[in-house]
Each structure stands twice: as structure tokens, then as C-alpha cells.
Amino acid sequence: MRPKAANFGHAKVHPDMTLPDIDPDKPVLIAGPTASGKSALALRIAQTQGGVIVNADASQVFGCWRLVTARPSPEEEARAPHRLYGHVPYDATYSAGHWLREVVPLLSGPERPIIVGGTGLYFSALTEGMAEIPATPADVRAEGDRLSLEELLAQLDERTAARIDLQNRARVQRAWEVLTATGRPLADWQDDTPPPALPLGNSTAIVLNSSKDWLEARIRKRFRQMLTLGALEEIDAMRDRYDPALPSCKAIGVPELMSYVTGQTTLEEAEEKAAIATRRFAKRQRTWFRARMSAWYQVQPDSDL
């Protein structure tokens, strides 16, 4: 049986997209890989049904980047209220726990939240619950920063290793830090997770499953648009504060463009490396969504929204 198309009043949704009925009184969750059109869909829903758009992308929380991380433009932000975008200093520590604590009050606010982004861990923390793990001491984090990915992996327990992306250094280091600081594996903490702040059934949850070839073309097109709009100037403004160890400076495209700005590569090389990094990141996102979001409403956008 074909699901009903979404009701957006007089607004039109692209005919290739079949969306679920969207209850204007329920929170909306929109996940998807980078460049898949999540923000455009969130803005359309907000403009036709009302609501506040809430960021669920780990790179877009930092105030130093707008163009490089494809944050909504000032013009887009003026068309609907936006929250949790660009509100964190470039050198601040920010985790899924920080994000969850900021999102929870918005769930009971005056406007229905439309939570959109590509960070799967944020969505799982929201809809599945999140373990209340003590903060990592600075000396433990510093030691983790010095270790290689292989050294971190060698110390993880099997149960935790089976649950995380072993190619994602941030996730691996986080698991190592928890084990080192608390003496308990991350998997144990996860098994003691409290109830979720937003059970999945209390929302309209949509994940965009774009095809690989379609996404690849959009990734390259968007990167060129970023350059045209001034991404290099944004990178250059951060040259003296750039620290590759900071989470903000690990955003896709930042290391590659910083290499160009500092004269280490050509722009063509930087663009190609950034496209490859973005494609690999999108692949990891799609793998996560397939594994963890099978209960979400699946949408395949093969045209611009």
C-alpha cells in the first residue's frame, strides 16, 4: 500500500518524493547524508506548517564556519526560526550530551521543533536515550589526543568495538576516554541508558536515502558554490586560530582548504581531496542510517527540493 503524501497546504513537494503525513503538532526529525537536501526540506515544512528548525549537525554548531559547513544562510534563517546553529566557540568542547541538554527544552517550547542534520549520534541520543557518563578529565583527553587510532583501538573491549564506527577517530577516542576515565566500557554505560527524551513514535521521523551517484554530483556542485560565496575567505580568517586537534577544525573541507590557503596544495588538489573526504563521510552516514534508522520513514530524493 502506497503511503499518503505529506500535506503541506498549498505548497508543492517534488513529485519524486513521497513523504509521510506530517502532524503539525508532532516534532519532525529529518536525517540524511551531507548535501542530500535536508535543510531545504526542513525549511519547506517550517514555512508551510510552522515550527522552529533545530540543528542536529555536529559541525554546524561552531560559529567560525557558515559556508564551509553549509549552515543555513542569513536569508534562510530569516524565513523561519533556527536554533543551535553557530552558537559554540571554535575552541569549545561540544558533544552529543551537550546537544541533547540544549534540545530537550525545545521539545516543550511554544513552537514545534523540526530537528534536522546528519549526525546520527545526536538522533540516537534523542530517540533512544543517552548514558549519563561523567565528563572526561582534561589529562585523559590530552593522553588520548597523543595516541594513534591503532593504539586507541588496541585498548577497547570487544563489545564496545562492535558498536562504534572503528574508522571514526572521534568515536574511537571517546570510547577509549570513557574506559580510561571511569574504568567501565562504553558498552556498559550504554546498557544503563535512561529512557529517551523523545521516543521515536512521538515524532515524524524521515531519513533521506539518496543514491550514491546523485549525491556525488551534488557534493561537487555544492563545494564549488561554497568557493564562489567566499569559503576561502572564511578559512583564511581562521588561519591563525586553526588547530587540527580541535573538533571544529575537523569539519569536512576545512583541513583541505586550509592546506590551500597556507600554500601547501593547489586549489584543484584541495577541491579533489575535499570531495573525496566528503564522499567518504557521506558513505559512513548512509551506513549508519541503514543500520540504525530502519524504523524511520525512508525517502529517496533524486531531484533538488
Query: What's the grid cell of residue 166?
Result: 572503528
User: Does 262 lie in the same domain as 164?
Assistant: no
User: Does 99 lie in the same domain as 42?
Assistant: yes
Over residues 16-42, the mean pLDDT reads 88
| pTM, rounded to two decimals | 0.82
User: Does 159 lie in the same domain as 103?
Assistant: no
Domain CATH for 264:
1.10.287.890
167 in a structural domain: yes
User: Does 261 lie in the same domain as 224?
Assistant: yes
Distance separating alpha carbons of residues 235 and 238, to the nearest angstrom:
5
User: Does 258 lie in the same domain as 173?
Assistant: no
Query: What's the grid cell of residue 219?
Result: 557534493
Q: Please, what is the angle between helix 212-229 and helix 267-292, to 10°?
A: 130
Over residues 76-102, the mean pLDDT reads 95
* Residue 113, φ and ψ in degrees, nearest 5: -80, 140
Domain count, the chain: 3
Residue 217 structural domain: 212-284
132 — pLDDT class (breaks 50, 70, 90): confident
4 — pLDDT class (breaks 50, 70, 90): very low
66 in a structural domain: yes
| Model confidence pLDDT, tens digit, residues 31-52 | 999 999 999 999 999 999 999 9
User: Does 116 lie in the same domain as 51?
Assistant: yes
Res 5: pLDDT: 38
User: Does 118 lie in the same domain as 46?
Assistant: yes
Average model confidence (pLDDT) for the chain?
Answer: 90
2 in a structural domain: no
User: Does 34 lie in the same domain as 102?
Assistant: yes
